[in-house]
Chains A and B, each alone.
Chain A
Amino acid sequence: MARELTRRERMALERVSMREQDASQRRVNFDEVNLGYTAEMAVAEAERCLLCARPSCIDGCPVGIDIREFIRLTADGEFLDAAGVIAESSSLPAVCGRVCPQENQCEGTCVLVRKGKSIAIGHLERFVADFAREHGRPPAHEEIPKTGKRVAVVGSGPAGLACATDLIKGGHDVTVFEALHELGGVLVYGIPEFRLPKDIVKAEIDGLAELGVVFETNAVIGMIDTIDDLLDEEGFDAVFIGVGAGLPRFLNIPGENLIGVYSANEFLTRVNLMKAYEAGAQTPLLDLYRKTVAVFGGGNTAMDAVRTAMRLGAGRAMILYRRSEAEMPARLEEVHHAKQEGVEFHALVSPLELHGDEEGWLRAVKLQQMELGEPDDSGRRRPEPIPDAVEEIAIDVAVVAIGNTPNPLIHKTAPDLEQTRWGTLAADPETGRTSKRGVFAGGDIVTGGATVILAMGAGRRAAAAIDGYLRTDEWESRS
């Protein structure tokens, strides 16, 4: 092995860039944009790590992965061991390495951030997870004694999958119920192929099935079974609800029901889940070829939508965001990639009205120019309208990507579950315990729209609490 680098030498090294498809090429295909590190690149990047005595990166990780240790092993070329370290804390490393907002988490708290040279923790996580998937998994678990307890997990998105993983490893029987025909939740209907290939999600789910998790698709809990049915009729000992945020938020402006106005959920579901981008697809999508597509919003979903529109042949694809670009919640990488692909960014504009033709097709949007005022509740400067600064631009298709509200299906059929005033389920943030004995919840249905990793973390914490509940049969009331 090569001579140990000194601290000074490590700090002088440059961050190893991710290989990616050329922008001109990728904007006409749905293949993954990032091509991953080679083993040499991963080792080179891992060697930059200062292996801090008190690693601040771990504080930035919502699930507390032992980042220093997995990077140390990566630098030594012990990739499978590195994967084993990650697996202790994360159920979906190949997913999180791709979709976590690392700049606000681990990489944001890396000591090298001040020099603008944070370790590329996300890229390394992705490499290690992909390596483990392709070269045999980390050492298999020994036979786990069965507890004989049965848990129903409602929703197969990040929260549900993470929860199911820990429960099955804890010896419980787990059945995951998914409303759609395909497993993965937002990982398959929301996040596009070019950012998260569906094969990767499928591999994670196949791994869970191998561990013994039972999956039931086309099972809309709340309709086919209520929460009470699961506990009473179906004989489950506990239920975890991880159904996601669910209901798309609209702008509440005139013209929103014109043909050509999609929610991001509908637009992305048609493309990702129903594969409307493939030739001969059975699910229709409006023809975007040479059309002008406007996406309202500035989060990751907005970026996914606008980049999808570009790939479907849009002549112009633009982001319209009511705050300034600095306030956009999207991952930096997505904004950067979108710009490379030719997406236009218009900040500080707020839609007032959508205009259509006589047959009800969207034709234009009337926009109010904004400027930044005083900070609001979120700490971000509040956008305020500039008097008389109104313009109209011609658009053919609009995608509204301004978030979701909680899906009321579960609550409607389990009215005894306490809700917050925002309509989310009330659950203890540490344990996921709801107001109903044996029922836990986590992910967007509790927090409102958040990230894959936060949902996963909530699923894991709930799994630990469910395990405790099933072993002791003690239900502490929430404080």
Chain B
Amino acid sequence: MNRILETRELAPSVTYFRVEAAKIARKRKAGQFVIIRVADDGERIPLTIADADPDAGWVAIIVQAVGRTTALLNQLKAGDFIHDMAGPLGMPSEVELFGTVVVIGGGVGTAIAYPTAVALAEAGNDVIAIIGGRSREYVILEDELRAACTEVYPTTDDGSYGRHGFVTDQLKDLIDGGATIDRVIAIGPIPMMRAVASVTELHGIHTIVSLNPIMVDGTGMCGGCRVSVGGEVKFACVDGPEFDAHEVDFELLARRNTSYEAFEYFRAAETKPCAVDAVEASDGA
């Protein structure tokens, strides 16, 4: 059982949690994740450790409500408990002195990219962040990133904030502007990571992405999280979650991630307030 110390809404249905986990906080490295269960009968879901304080003994996770479990999680408040937390899991991000690194976060992917950006900056790199969102309220962690990065470029799909366009548009601007980029790290929705990969491949920039396949145990035991990288099967939980973007079969990942769409659809229907009840309630009003 892990006690929640603080919750904060970062964007619509995106919540920041600070959770007591003394040992994980001491042992984790940037890029690693935890597997949690919200309740005793809950499913196991992987969440990247967004931040940690080894002295105070907490880790931070940032959760977007997309399915039942994440929705349940986002209802929890400070003082509540997360039933289980196992970690740190996965390989840490490669952190060396590369030179100039562009870290790209799309939506809640920025939360996953954030700890790696900080670690890279601490290792002496010039870190440029590009953080995208559908609109202004979906751009997260801008202030936190500004504290670690040399430059931060927000972008929005609708132009409500920062550069109007996609993160790849900003990336192309940087490349066209003659910036020397030694490495790119892109974390976000699959189409975004794929788009970044095709831009950087043209320019021969080594690019890392963090993959989010369906996972159960997180220790390599089930193989559910298998992805294809350079034509080889890899398990994201133990071999990743970070891989060479130019080797990843994104199409396969996107397809496999639809495995349980039907299950989620019916499950969501179960938890919605019944339409009939809603009609009755409005009639009575």
Is A435 located at the chain interface by the 8 A CB criterion?
Answer: no
Is A3 located at the chain interface by the 8 A CB criterion?
Answer: no
Task: Tell me the nearest residue of chain B to A225, going by C-beta.
Answer: B27
Is B89 located at the chain interface by the 8 A CB criterion?
Answer: yes
B interface, size bucket: 35 or more
Of the 9-residue stretches A268-276, A288-296, A317-325, A470-478, which lies at the interface with chain B? A268-276
Are A181 and B24 closer than 8 Å at their CB atoms?
no
Are A409 and B220 CB-contacts (below 8 A) given A274-B44, A282-B42? yes
Are B68 and A223 closer than 8 Å at their CB atoms?
no
Task: Tell me the nearest residue of chain A to B23, going by C-beta.
Answer: A224
**A408–B27 CA distance with the chains assembled, in angstroms:** 19
Task: Tell me the nearest residue of chain A to B72, going by C-beta.
Answer: A282
Are A181 and B223 CB-contacts (below 8 A) given A282-B42, A282-B69, A409-B238? no
Are B43 and A282 closer than 8 Å at their CB atoms?
yes
Is B268 located at the chain interface by the 8 A CB criterion?
Answer: no
Give the Cβ gap from B214 to chain A, nearest Cβ, in Å: 9
**A220–B218 CA distance with the chains assembled, in angstroms:** 10
> Of the candidates B41, B43, B88, B233, which one forms a contact with A257 in the assembled complex, judged by CB atoms under 8 Å apart?
B233
**A290–B219 CA distance with the chains assembled, in angstroms:** 32
* Residues of A356-394 whose CB lies within 8 A of B: 359-360
Is A21 located at the chain interface by the 8 A CB criterion?
Answer: no
Are B68 and A407 closer than 8 Å at their CB atoms?
no
The interface of chain A, by Cβ under 8 A from chain B, is 179-181, 189, 217-220, 223-225, 246-248, 250, 256-257, 259, 262-263, 265-266, 269-270, 274-275, 281-287, 359-360, 407-409
Interchain residue pairs A-B with the least CB separation, the first 4? A360-B255, A266-B222, A218-B86, A284-B263
> Of the candidates A179, A217, A281, which one forms a contact with B219 in the assembled complex, judged by CB atoms under 8 Å apart?
A179
Is B244 located at the chain interface by the 8 A CB criterion?
Answer: no
Secondary structure at chain B's binding surface: helix, strand, loop or mixed? mixed
Are B262 and A287 closer than 8 Å at their CB atoms?
yes
Task: Tell me the nearest residue of chain A to B32, going by C-beta.
Answer: A223
Chain A residue contacts of B84, Cβ below 8 A: 181, 217-218
Are B221 and A247 closer than 8 Å at their CB atoms?
yes
Are A274 and B85 closer than 8 Å at their CB atoms?
no
Chain B residue contacts of A360, Cβ below 8 A: 252, 255-256, 258
Chain A residue contacts of B220, Cβ below 8 A: 246-247, 407-409
User: Could you list 5 further interchain pairs (A-B, Cβ under 8 angstroms) beyond the known A256-B233, A259-B258?
Assistant: A250-B223, A257-B226, A284-B259, A286-B260, A408-B220
Task: Tell me the nearest residue of chain A to B42, going by C-beta.
Answer: A282
Task: Tell me the nearest residue of chain A to B215, going by C-beta.
Answer: A266
**A286–B258 CA distance with the chains assembled, in angstroms:** 11
**A282–B217 CA distance with the chains assembled, in angstroms:** 15
Give the Cβ gap from B236 to chain A, nearest Cβ, in Å: 12
Task: Tell me the nearest residue of chain A to B68, going by C-beta.
Answer: A282
Task: Tell me the nearest residue of chain A to B262, going by C-beta.
Answer: A287
* Residues of B237-277 whose CB lies within 8 A of A: 238, 252, 255-256, 258-260, 262-264, 267
* Residues of B193-222 whose CB lies within 8 A of A: 216-222
Are A247 and B223 closer than 8 Å at their CB atoms?
yes
**A217–B83 CA distance with the chains assembled, in angstroms:** 11
Secondary structure at chain A's binding surface: helix, strand, loop or mixed? loop
Chain B residue contacts of A286, Cβ below 8 A: 259-260
Chain A residue contacts of B226, Cβ below 8 A: 250, 257
Give the Cβ gap from B216 to chain A, nearest Cβ, in Å: 6
Task: Tell me the nearest residue of chain B to A259, going by C-beta.
Answer: B259
Is B37 located at the chain interface by the 8 A CB criterion?
Answer: yes
Task: Tell me the nearest residue of chain B to A245, going by C-beta.
Answer: B221
Task: Tell me the nearest residue of chain B to A186, going by C-beta.
Answer: B221
**A181–B41 CA distance with the chains assembled, in angstroms:** 11
**A189–B68 CA distance with the chains assembled, in angstroms:** 23
Is B224 located at the chain interface by the 8 A CB criterion?
Answer: yes
Give the Cβ gap from A301 to chain B, nearest Cβ, in Å: 13
Chain B residue contacts of A270, Cβ below 8 A: 216
Are A284 and B264 closer than 8 Å at their CB atoms?
yes
Is B87 located at the chain interface by the 8 A CB criterion?
Answer: yes
> Of the candidates B24, B223, B256, which one forms a contact with A266 in the assembled complex, judged by CB atoms under 8 Å apart?
B223
Are B219 and A265 closer than 8 Å at their CB atoms?
no
Chain B residue contacts of A257, Cβ below 8 A: 226, 228, 233, 252, 256
Are A224 and B88 CB-contacts (below 8 A) given A282-B42, A282-B69, A283-B43? yes
Give the Cβ gap from A280 to chain B, nearest Cβ, in Å: 8
Give the Cβ gap from A28 to chain B, nearest Cβ, in Å: 21
**A284–B259 CA distance with the chains assembled, in angstroms:** 9
**A284–B261 CA distance with the chains assembled, in angstroms:** 10
Chain B residue contacts of A285, Cβ below 8 A: 263
Are A218 and B85 closer than 8 Å at their CB atoms?
yes
> What are 11 inter-chain pairs, A to B, with CB distance below 8 A?
A220-B89, A223-B27, A223-B89, A224-B88, A250-B223, A257-B228, A274-B43, A282-B41, A284-B263, A407-B219, A409-B238
Chain B residue contacts of A250, Cβ below 8 A: 223, 226, 233
Chain A CB within 10 A, most for which of B69, B219, B221, B256: B221
**A259–B259 CA distance with the chains assembled, in angstroms:** 6
> Of the candidates B83, B87, B222, B256, which one forms a contact with A223 in the assembled complex, judged by CB atoms under 8 Å apart?
B87
B38-49 to A contact mask, C-beta < 8 Å, 1/0: 000111100000
**A225–B23 CA distance with the chains assembled, in angstroms:** 9
**A246–B218 CA distance with the chains assembled, in angstroms:** 11
**A270–B43 CA distance with the chains assembled, in angstroms:** 9
